[in-house]
Amino acid sequence: MSPLQVEALIKRIEQLNPKLNALIWFSADSVRRQAKAIEQLSGARGPLWGVPVLIKDNICVNGVPATCASKILKGFTPPYDATVITRLKQAGAILVGMANMDEFAFGSSCEHSCYGPTHNPWDLQRVPGGSSGGSAAAVAAGLSALALGSDTGGSIRQPAAFCGVVGLKPTYGRVSRYGLIAFASSLDQIGPFARTVSDAAALLETIAGFDPNDSTSAEVPVGAYRAAAAKEVKGLRIGIPKEYFADGLDAEIKTAIDAAIAWYRSAGASIHELSMPNTEYAVPVYYIVATAEASSNLARFDGVRFGHRAEDAGTVLDMFKKSRGEGFGSEAKRRIILGTYVLSSGYYDAYYGNALKVRTLIKNDFDKAFEQVDCLLTPTTPTAPFKIGEKTDDPLTMYLSDIMTISANLAGVPALSMPCGFTKSGLPIGMQLMARPFGEETLFQAGGAYERAHDWNKKEPAL
């Protein structure tokens, strides 16, 4: 970035972020220092040289606060870089700042944050989706060219759909989780946000790959994702699972998805309707597995080593109780309680054990589907972005916002959301593509071809 571009970015963030609340940590001096240092380096330039990238607040950056948008981690500054951050720095990226999110990634609206909600740039009265709402809103509003989020049950794809940008959840094990503050360790994946499919491909090429610091990292070669995004779709087999088009799908979203399916057929892809019968169990399975793992992972936040500590505790036990009671928000407490319950003696087999068995059945549905097709096409969300505060008093309704995205996390498969239209009121609509494990190249091929034939990604919110 030239000095003029750097100052233009800083000015845009300072003007628009007060409206959006997308960035919760930003330093203009840090951006200037990084840009100057990158310009002074000699030798080959990395693939993201001078490109601004925003980081979700649950990814560790050495010397920069990482709070997971929670009071319990206020004041915590990581002493090391996550692997994805190391790779961004090696590629010459400029780290813009830290993005707002639902506390510990617990949410579908970016309202559960100790910093207050993020606003959707297409309609400031509506949510941007969650939990990576700050990352999606910032990219949509031009506060950063790229952003990182994390996806445990749809936390990249749902906000990408709500904000009209591209978001990808990679295959489980495709991107290192080292330095990601865990929500549910068997589900979490870091992934990219971008305005275009090819930009998302470039970011994934940079952050993907084996990492010995992450025991779940897969030793699978990184694909040629940018090259895949330039391919056509003639001959591609696309599956349409009927369970994703059941009652509750908004009529305008169905119309947009039907139009996308028709375009793929006209472009030479073959369309195959199929069934994934265990899809109906995805939400209950997810909210057992995810909350159980969250309860275990968040046990470490106790006021002893770092983060918030209650000041007026008389005993160690009081300190534990008061620190966690004061530090965690209502949604975090709800999920910790649910997770502790399903793991407790007498209930483990009935809930957590059975949930793992059904999770296997859901994965088997995907395995069978990919014997017939190369990728699946579904809506990303059942509705358009809803208004801030509309669902906060009804957690179950909020949880159902991720009904289209949860299965991919349970099965560990890659999934991409991209714009495929707008409602009559001007709100973005997202289309989801899913592929077999480590089939990200197929997603970029299918997404890139569709994007070249449409101009949805060129529309910008009127901020």
pLDDT digits (tens, 9 = 90+) for 307-325: 899 988 889 999 999 999 9
For 263-286, letters b (16+ CB in 10 Å) and e give bbeeeebeeeeeebebbebbbebb
Residues belonging to the active site: 56, 131, 155
Q: What's the distance, CA 158 to chain centroid?
A: 7
Rounded Cα gap, residues 451 and 140, in angstroms: 16
Q: Cα–Cα–Cα angle for 372, 216, 108, nearest 5°?
A: 75
For 247-303, the pLDDT digits (tens) are: 889 999 999 999 999 999 999 999 999 999 999 999 999 999 999 999 999 999 998
- 289 is a domain residue: no
Query: The domain that contains 144 carries what CATH number?
Result: 3.90.1300.10
- Output the pLDDT for position 372: 97
> What confidence category does residue 444 fall into, taking pLDDT thresholds of 50, 70 and 90?
very high
Round to whole Å and give the CA distance between 97 and 226. 26
Quick one: CA dihedral 376, 274, 234, 267, positive or negative? negative
How many other CB atoms are there within 10 angstroms of residue 131's CB atom? 36
Strands (E) located in 269-414: 270-274, 375-379
Distance of CA 68 to the CA centre of its chain: 14
Phi, psi of 180 (to 5 degrees): -90, 125
Give the model confidence (pLDDT) of 149-180 as tens digits: 999 999 999 999 999 999 999 999 999 999 99
Tell me the three state secondary structure of residue 99.
strand
Residue 312 belongs to a domain: no
Averaged over 410-417, what is the pLDDT? 98
pLDDT band at 442 (very low <50, low <70, confident <90, very high): very high
Query: Would you call the peptide bond into 131 cis, given omega within 30 degrees of 0 as the criterion?
Result: yes
Decide: helix, strand or coil at residue 231.
coil
In a domain, 87, yes or no: yes
| Tens of pLDDT, residues 333-370 | 999 999 999 999 888 999 999 999 999 999 999 999 99
Task: For 15-43, write each residue's pLDDT tens digit.
Answer: 999 999 999 999 999 999 999 999 887 67
Instruction: With respect to residue 196, please indicate whether it lies within any of the assigned structural domains.
Output: yes
Round to whole Å and give the CA distance between 15 and 409: 36
* 344 domain residue, yes or no: no
Q: Report the predicted TM-score, pTM, of the whole model to 2 decimal places.
A: 0.96
Q: Is the dihedral of CA 13, 17, 23, 28 positive or negative?
A: positive
DSSP H/E element including 450: helix 440-452
271 phi and psi angles, rounded to 5 deg: -105, 130
Lowest pLDDT segment from 99-113, 124-138, 236-250, 300-314 = 300-314
CA 195 and chain centroid, separation: 14
For residue 432, is it within any domain? yes
82 token code pair: 């996550």
Give tens-digit pLDDT for 323-343.
999 999 999 999 999 999 999
User: 211 in a domain, yes or no?
Assistant: yes
In 3D space, the residue among 69, 90, 49, 61 whose CA is nearest the CA of residue 178 turns out to be: 61
Residue spans of beta strands (DSSP E) within 101-171: 146-151, 166-169
pLDDT at 2: 83
Q: Which amino acid is at 436?
A: R
H helical segments located in 273-371: 282-297, 316-327, 330-343, 354-369
Nearest residue to 86 (alpha-carbon basis) of 211, 192, 219, 215: 211
Number of independent structural domains in the chain? 1
Distance linking the first and last C-alpha atoms of the chain: 23
Residue 160 is part of which domain span? 3-232+416-458
- Tell me what pLDDT residue 346 has: 87
Question: Is the pLDDT confidence value at 46 over 90?
Answer: no
Q: What angle do CA 191, 239, 162 make, to 5 degrees?
A: 40
Q: Does a structural domain hold residue 36?
A: yes
